[in-house]
Structure 1
Amino acid sequence: MKSIACTISYGKTEIDYELLMMNRKLLEIAVHPDKSVVVKAPKTSSLEAIEDKVKKRARWIKRQISYFNQFDPRTPDRKYVGGESHLYLGRKYRLKIEVSDKDKVLLKNGYFCIEAISSKPEHIEKLMDSWYRRRAKMYLSKIFDDCWDSFKKGDLNKPNLKLQKMDKRWGSLSGKGQLTLNVNLIQTPKECIEYVVIHELCHLIHHNHSTEFYKLLDRTLPDWMKRKHKLEMALI
């Protein structure tokens, strides 16, 4: 099966797509949840004819991409005041703030119990951010190790793990083997974190979102679509 990276112009934008030349009778265009576009075409088709058909479906492709854009990682507006709900591993906990001579954050009896030298929202936000980062370093690292133990294949090298806040992605894998996870994953359920880790580990073998990539993901994590949907709704 031959794979070709292609691009068409549509208005003022460009649409990138992966073209797979296969033993099939009809051309198929698919837009995946990660917004990658895959075109499967008969081996006998000319590139010009394929491009013409993709251009005719360009409006539909853009609509699909726009639909999936709504599920990008997003952080709700927070005011960091008493009574406000915040997430940890998919569960909601309300803030209980008390002015004190020290700064401290505890998770207790369904609440984030916060002792703080100032109740100003910006100070509470810094305390919460620091708490999330500490928990992410501990918990996401453990999930990564567990996922790697069940995934590792052949001579693959275990990626280095990095945690940071990202606006547009839950995770990424660099060409040099560094796996980066979004710190905000600590707010989502465990099964969602496992999905992101396994998804990125599959890129060790298939570097793009080809048909073979999704076949590997299906074999490794059969319920990945359910987990992905849960992740998309996690921070709403």
Structure 2
Amino acid sequence: MTDIKVTPHEQGAFYYGDEILHYHIQRRATDDERKVVIKVHPDERITVMAPKSASKEEVKAAILKRVRWIWESLLEFRQQQEFISPRQYAGGETYFYLGKRYRLKLIQQEETVPSVKLKRGRLEVCYSGEYNAELIKKWVMHWYEHRAYILYHQRLAELLPKTDWVTGLPNLKIMPMTRQWGSCSTSGRIMLNPHLVKAPKDCIDYVILHELCHIAEHNHSDRFWRLLTKVMPDWKANKAKLDEMAELYLNE
């Protein structure tokens, strides 16, 4: 499962100035890696990947050593959040597709069938009748889902030869999600978020390979991460790129 939000096993908190900051602890399956890894997310969550045997006191001590960096990261994300406003589905807004930005252009024409297409660096919506933001949203989202369906199947077919543990073509479903980029059921069915099509191709490949690895390893064990590293050595960079833009890609 490629989560946007992580479900914690343990929780902790600390003060910085007058503010109390909460963090979630995830445990590695083994103690092969002793380093405590701290991640500050765009939605201001703080997650900590810690060795299985590390005490809560040891984890907190590692956090406090980086408390200034954590606080500065939170401030940076808060400043970015100020520029993210709800979509109005009006001309001139910026929309993403495969990591590139496109300006929305609305074209009102009499007796025309509603259509959405990329043209000359713009996302053009042609329609007849009066402007209706809800209808514009519906057409744009349908376009994203259609493009996602085509692209995800293409990328899945391209990536499958890397995954010799997968037999046959996995069932792929497109499903809007608010907290996940993708998921994999125990039966091997893969679900992908249509909003992921807004990200660069390398990020899409990362999520697909992540879910394909779950067919062999149904958790985030060290074996899982080794398998993912084998098929995509630079997955960390692609994940970081996706995490950085998550709030913008998910802004409807």
Query: Identity, % of aligned pairs?
Result: 30
Question: What's the secondary structure of 2:92's corresponding residue?
Answer: coil
**Scaled by the length of structure 1, what TM-score is found?**
0.74
1:28–1:111 Cα change, 3 Å: closer
Report what 1:208 is aligned to. 219
Report what 2:98 is aligned to. 89
Taking the TM superposition and a 5 Å limit, the aligned residue runs for 1:1-236 are 8=10, 10=12, 17-18=26-27, 20=29, 22=31, 28-30=35-37, 35=47, 37-41=49-53, 50=55, 53=58, 77-100=86-109, 101-102=111-112, 103-117=114-128, 118-153=130-165, 156=167, 158-235=169-246, 236=248
Unaligned runs of 5+ in 2: 1-7, 14-21, 42-46, 78-83
Unaligned runs of 5+ in 1: 1-5, 42-48
Query: Which AA in structure 1 matches 2:150?
Result: M
The CA distance in 1 between the partners of 2:167 and 2:40, in whole Å, is 27
1:143–1:182 Cα change, 3 Å: same
Q: Which moved more, 1:181-190 or 1:156-165?
A: 156-165
Displacement, 1:198?
Answer: 0.8
The CA distance in 2 between the partners of 1:36 and 1:227, in whole Å, is 19
The CA distance in 2 between the partners of 1:199 and 1:81, in whole Å, is 35
Query: Which AA in structure 2 matches 1:201?
Result: L
**Scaled by the length of structure 2, what TM-score is found?**
0.70
Query: Which AA in structure 1 matches 2:99?
Result: G
TM-superposition CA deviations, 1:87-128 (whole Å, max 9, x none)? 111111111112222311121111112111232211111110
Query: Which AA in structure 2 matches 1:134?
Result: H
Cα RMSD for the two superposed structures = 3.5
TM-superposition CA deviations, 1:39-96 (whole Å, max 9, x none)? 244xxxxxxx8466557768899x97xx79x7xxxx9621111111111111111111
| Larger Rg over CA atoms | 1
The CA distance in 2 between the partners of 1:23 and 1:81, in whole Å, is 52
TM-superposition CA deviations, 1:129-156 (whole Å, max 9, x none)? 1111111111111111211222232x64
